[in-house]
Chain A
């Protein structure tokens, strides 16, 4: 691949991702309306799709206020961290054979490293706002994300053991006979739950919890800085969906009537839809329930999954 081609791939992926993240504003509101038996935004443009434009314009032209009591530089830095870290994670995702920014041999670990850096945006944003609610949100966010990072990493290790590689392209190619959802169902479920907690989406949106903490860690943010958190959340949903597809649902593999990238996008959008369905249907657990559920249920389950996977692999080898 020439470097010119490489630059085109990078720009193309960036363009598609940012447009998906913006388009999800409309998708989420329409789908939520469908699930809740109402209409949703339907005035601007066909099916109301121009609501995306209206929302973006609103975010750009709102007053971008930095509270005088805030820690100025950290306050400005933290919205950038979440978008940066999530976009960096997309570096390793193969959208189709050959369409990937960097096919690292430590791909899966790189994803985990970047998702662990995304915690800083919540923690620093909440601290720099110098506001009780924001700080409470930041504290909750930090402990929730640190706890669920552990299971997220461990749930992927079963797949790594079966593939013998952390390169994403190898993981996809190893699913030619059977997707890993069939051989690693427990890992897939735990990864998805940990992914919801990592992106702090409903039902695990405890750092924001608007009914108890106003808006949690981004209570003081306005204008495009709030927009960055917003975009970061939608990018996070897309990232977890894309990872689910790549690691457990065969990535770009599928019958030949759709192109490889077509299969990838269809599967990814199914998972994005599932994220939105979860938001529409599940209540939020209490904070201690979330943490207890993580350490007392998910950790033993994921360790058992690793143990069984290892034992079966050893048996099959002999």
Chain B
């Protein structure tokens, strides 16, 4: 079972690197989908099938489809890929690489320290998560719902447009007093 974990985490890492280095946006998003699937596989190998399936349904199945949907409508072409190629110079890699190196150092320290867990962890079954979400943390759930509602109202406002009549007979005579 450990082998499965290592294979899927290798795929996740590889796919994520490919996401960053692709010039064509749709290809990058496809690798991101693969990365999510690999992370779901890691959850499955850690013995959390519920979280794994939620990862696939929500991230790979819904959010990424919407991303691809939007990118598809932008009609990005070869010119965009050329532009990306111009932007992604070696100099750009410097800052992110430094920050990632700091994280890598932290990880090495944690791994050297022993069991690889800095925080004490307990297993929480999904039922307990659901009960606490709809019990003591109800207000937080409702606030999150409000936030999403604001997004929907905003989208509906931007999306609506005035009805335009193309025929002159159907136009409203607003000029008549």
Is chain B found bound to chain A in the same assembly? yes
Q: Which A residues lie at the B interface, using CB under 8 A?
A: 71, 74, 104-106, 109-110, 112-113, 116-117, 119-120, 123-124, 126-127, 135, 138-139, 142-143, 145-146, 149, 153
For the A-B complex with A106-B49, A138-B72 known, give 19 more contacts whose Cβ atoms are closer than 8 Å: A105-B49, A109-B53, A113-B56, A113-B57, A117-B56, A117-B60, A119-B61, A119-B65, A120-B65, A120-B68, A123-B65, A124-B30, A127-B26, A127-B72, A135-B72, A142-B68, A142-B69, A146-B62, A146-B65
Provide the bound-state CA to CA distance between A127 and B83, in Å: 21
Provide the bound-state CA to CA distance between A126 and B69, in Å: 11
Is B66's CB within 8 Å of the partner chain A?
yes
When the two chains form their complex, are residues B57 and A146 in contact, meaning their CB atoms are under 8 A apart?
Answer: no
What B residues does A106 contact at CB under 8 A?
49-50, 53
Q: Which of A74, A120, A126, A143 gathers most chain B CB within 10 Å? A: A120
A-B contact pairs, 21 of them (CB 8 A): A71-B26, A74-B27, A105-B49, A106-B49, A106-B53, A109-B53, A109-B57, A112-B57, A113-B61, A116-B56, A116-B65, A117-B56, A119-B61, A119-B65, A120-B33, A120-B65, A123-B69, A124-B30, A127-B26, A142-B68, A149-B61
Shortest CB-to-CB span from A137 to chain B, Å, is 12
Shortest CB-to-CB span from A19 to chain B, Å, is 29
What B residues does A105 contact at CB under 8 A?
49
When the two chains form their complex, are residues A139 and B72 in contact, meaning their CB atoms are under 8 A apart?
Answer: yes
Shortest CB-to-CB span from B125 to chain A, Å, is 12
When the two chains form their complex, are residues B56 and A139 in contact, meaning their CB atoms are under 8 A apart?
Answer: no
When the two chains form their complex, are residues A74 and B60 in contact, meaning their CB atoms are under 8 A apart?
Answer: no
Provide the bound-state CA to CA distance between A142 and B66, in Å: 8
What B residues does A113 contact at CB under 8 A?
53, 56-57, 60-61
Provide the bound-state CA to CA distance between A142 and B56, in Å: 17
Is B112's CB within 8 Å of the partner chain A?
no
Size bracket of the B interface:
20 to 34
What A residues does B57 contact at CB under 8 A?
109, 112-113, 116, 153
Is B73's CB within 8 Å of the partner chain A?
yes
Q: B26-44 vs A: 1/0 string, CB under 8 Å?
A: 1100100100000000000
Shortest CB-to-CB span from A197 to chain B, Å, is 15
Provide the bound-state CA to CA distance between A101 and B65, in Å: 28
When the two chains form their complex, are residues B33 and A74 in contact, meaning their CB atoms are under 8 A apart?
Answer: no
What B residues does A143 contact at CB under 8 A?
69
What B residues does A127 contact at CB under 8 A?
26, 68, 72
Q: B52-92 vs A: 1/0 string, CB under 8 Å?
A: 01101100111001101100110000000000000000000
When the two chains form their complex, are residues B60 and A116 in contact, meaning their CB atoms are under 8 A apart?
Answer: yes
Smallest CB gap from B65: residue in A: A119
Smallest CB gap from A142: residue in B: B69
What A residues does B54 contact at CB under 8 A?
109
When the two chains form their complex, are residues B56 and A146 in contact, meaning their CB atoms are under 8 A apart?
Answer: no
Provide the bound-state CA to CA distance between A145 and B62, in Å: 10
Q: Which of A104, A113, A117, A135 gathers most chain B CB within 10 Å? A: A113
When the two chains form their complex, are residues A74 and B30 in contact, meaning their CB atoms are under 8 A apart?
Answer: yes
Shortest CB-to-CB span from A52 to chain B, Å, is 33
